[in-house]
């Protein structure tokens, strides 16, 4: 190679070395910039704190749950059952007392009503009995006067019993009723209208408020065609 060629090679390589030096110089810190007023100070390093977990702290503050003693729970249930039993027992006792008091009131009222009814009945029969007594105390009395007095006493007795609900059973002409009539005999009759009717009363019958006190003893008719008209 000639000297001219070597010189060209050297010129070609020099700019590359200069660029390398310039790049190196630019990478190195400039002493004049560090000392200058316009240079920015490096930011202080701050240690980043990790965020606190409040849930963990709260959990740490809460006391650990205490396991309940089964015997304590059982005793509480037993006490509650005993209290309910006492309440029900008291209510039952109060109800029994109330029912007993109610029965006593009803018995007392029934007794008073019975006494009032007895007094009223005695009052109804008192006057007829007194009239009969006065009639028997007469020293001298004829038969007709005695009959009239007894008739009056009978009428007073019947009035008193009618006020108590006494009624006479229908007699002659009424339709035979086996509930209040007792048939002593059956008589043939030619009149169809008398068939099954009471023809005669032997003993009068009476009822008290619908209940038969005494059945009437009667003779009833039974219709039959005359023998010649067969």
SS (H, E, C) 40-58: CCCCCCCCCCCCCCHHHHH
Residue 129, pLDDT score: 87
Per-residue pLDDT averaged across 21-44, rounded? 45
Asked whether residue 46 carries a pLDDT value surpassing 60, the answer given is no
Please indicate whether residue 74 or residue 61 has the higher confidence score (pLDDT).
Answer: 74
Asked if 220 and 198 count as a contact pair (C-beta separation under 8 A), the reply is: yes
DSSP class per residue in 138-198: -SS--HHHHHHHHHHHHHHHHHHHHHTTEEEPP-TTSBP-TTTEEEEEEEEES-GGGTTBE
Please indicate whether residue 76 or residue 47 has the higher confidence score (pLDDT).
Answer: 76
CA dist 98 → 85, 87, 109, 147, 175 (Å): 20, 16, 16, 60, 55
CA pair distance 128, 155, nearest whole angstrom: 8
Where b means 16+ CB within 10 Å and e means fewer, 153-178 reads: beebbeebbeeeebeebbeeeeebee
Asked if 165 and 208 count as a contact pair (C-beta separation under 8 A), the reply is: yes
Handedness of CA 26, 28, 30, 33 (dihedral sign): positive
Asked whether residue 202 carries a pLDDT value surpassing 80, the answer given is yes
Greatest mean pLDDT among 34-38, 118-122, 184-188 lies in 184-188
pLDDT band at 124 (very low <50, low <70, confident <90, very high): confident
Asked whether residue 33 carries a pLDDT value surpassing 50, the answer given is no
pTM (global) more than 0.85: no
CA pair distance 156, 179, nearest whole angstrom: 28
pLDDT band at 15 (very low <50, low <70, confident <90, very high): very low
Q: What is the pLDDT of residues 80-99, one digit of tens each?
A: 888 888 888 888 888 999 99
Asked whether residue 212 carries a pLDDT value surpassing 50, the answer given is yes
Asked if 164 and 123 count as a contact pair (C-beta separation under 8 A), the reply is: no
């Amino acid at each position: 190679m000639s000297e001219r060629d070597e010189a060209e090679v050297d010129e070609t390589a020099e700019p590359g070395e200069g660029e390398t030096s310039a790049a190196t110089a630019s990478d190195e810190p400039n002493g004049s910039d560090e000392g200058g007023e316009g240079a920015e100070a490096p930011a202080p390093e701050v240690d980043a704190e990790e965020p606190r977990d409040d849930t963990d702290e709260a959990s740490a503050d809460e006391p650990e749950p205490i396991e309940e003693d089964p015997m304590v729970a059982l005793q509480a249930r037993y006490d509650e059952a005993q209290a309910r039993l006492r309440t029900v027992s008291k209510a039952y006792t109060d109800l029994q007392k109330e029912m007993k008091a109610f029965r006593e009131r009803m018995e007392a009222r029934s007794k008073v009503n019975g006494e009032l009814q007895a007094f009223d009945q005695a009052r109804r029969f008192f006057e007829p009995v007194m009239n009969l007594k006065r009639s028997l105390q007469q020293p001298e009395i004829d038969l007709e006067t005695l009959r009239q007095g007894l008739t009056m006493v009978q009428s007073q007795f019947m009035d008193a019993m009618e006020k108590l609900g006494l009624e006479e059973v229908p007699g002659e002409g009424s339709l035979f009723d086996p509930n209040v009539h007792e048939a002593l005999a059956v008589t043939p009759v030619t009149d169809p209208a008398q068939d099954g009717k009471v023809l005669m009363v032997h003993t009068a019958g009476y009822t008290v408020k619908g209940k038969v006190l005494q059945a009437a003893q009667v003779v009833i008719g039974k219709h039959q065609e005359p023998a010649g008209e067969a």
